Amino acid sequence: MNNEGLMKARSTVKDSGDILYTDKIKVKPLTKASIVIRLTLVALLMITVYGFAMFDYGETGLFTGLKETFLNFKTMFLEASFSRLTITDAIYQVLITLGLAFLTTIFGAIIALFLGLLAAQNLSNQYVSNIIRAFVAFIRAVPTVLWVLIFSIAAGLGSVAAVIGMTFHSVGYLIKAYSESFEELDEGVIEALKSCGANWWQIVFQAVIPSSITYLISWTFIRFEINFSVAVAMGAAAGAGGIGFDLFMASGFYFDLREIGIITYFILALAMVLEVISSRMKLNLRVNH
């Protein structure tokens, strides 16, 4: 095809008018970076396939293992029932896990609110803001379970170490979320209040927090959902109790697939309820805002 035919092929005429479109279809050329990314993905895929092929499965064949796995899942989720626990016990343990998540979220939110104000660059000194941001980055870089294990050295494994460790990580998470919400405030509002003689606390409580309250509540509830999931894991890893400890006992000690299934259903049901509450809350906040 010659150049004239190529130009005609690239151009189309809109049927409803005489507007002529001459936009060219841009094809992104291959670069060194894209080639490296594709080769890396191919290499990882080949390593994964090789690993599964060379893994020592013992006397269990691949299809036998898949069949047994299917039967385990069938027993777990289609034949779920209580054996050691009762419904009352399960609800009580779920409430303990919820209480652990709620407590750590409240503690983390209160501490993060004040430190988030100091971390916001439009409300604090640059030097103080950078120090808090570096501290927060370090906190978030360490997983929650490690913080719990670190504090368990002093407090011992149990609910105390779980509350301190989860609160510590919640503070790091919420400081970043809150400070970024505070920085969204228009600088003109702050300057107007300063010109009227308002001090720092008046600016915070009359402008910053009222304008950011929607984001604060939203981020706090998101962290509450995260803390609930972490509290389930901490029930087994740190002996914090709750439904997570019962799940650990049913799986690690008794290998009771039916009870594992019913506990999993309890956790999933509660997670769905929290998600519905979160969606309703966000919708109401948007309407009111």
Confidence label for 9 from pLDDT (cuts 50, 70 and 90):
very low
Quick check: is 266 in a domain? Answer: yes
Quick check: is 237 in a domain? Answer: yes
Residues 244-287 pLDDT 10s: 888 888 887 888 888 988 998 988 888 888 888 878 877 776 65
CATH number at residue 100: 1.10.3720.10
> What's the Cα-to-Cα distance from 82 to each of 88, 262, 264, rounded to whole Å?
11, 7, 12
C-alpha gyration radius of the chain:
28
Quick check: is 257 in a domain? Answer: yes
Question: Quick check: 175 and 115 in contact, CB under 8 A?
Answer: yes
Quick check: is 281 in a domain? Answer: yes
| H helical segments located in the chain | 3-10, 32-54, 62-78, 87-119, 126-141, 144-155, 159-182, 187-195, 200-203, 209-237, 243-248, 257-288
Q: Is the confidence at residue 111, as pLDDT, over 90?
A: yes
pTM: predicted TM-score of the whole model, two decimal places: 0.74
Which range marks the domain in which residue 207 is found? 90-288
The Cα–Cα gap between 229 and 169 comes to 14
Quick check: is 241 in a domain? Answer: yes
The total of structural domains in the chain comes to: 1
The whole-number average pLDDT for the span 224-246 is: 84
pLDDT at residue 19, rounded to an integer: 46
Quick check: is 136 in a domain? Answer: yes
Quick check: is 192 in a domain? Answer: yes
Q: Is the confidence at residue 108, as pLDDT, over 90?
A: yes
Confidence label for 62 from pLDDT (cuts 50, 70 and 90):
low
Quick check: is 4 in a domain? Answer: no
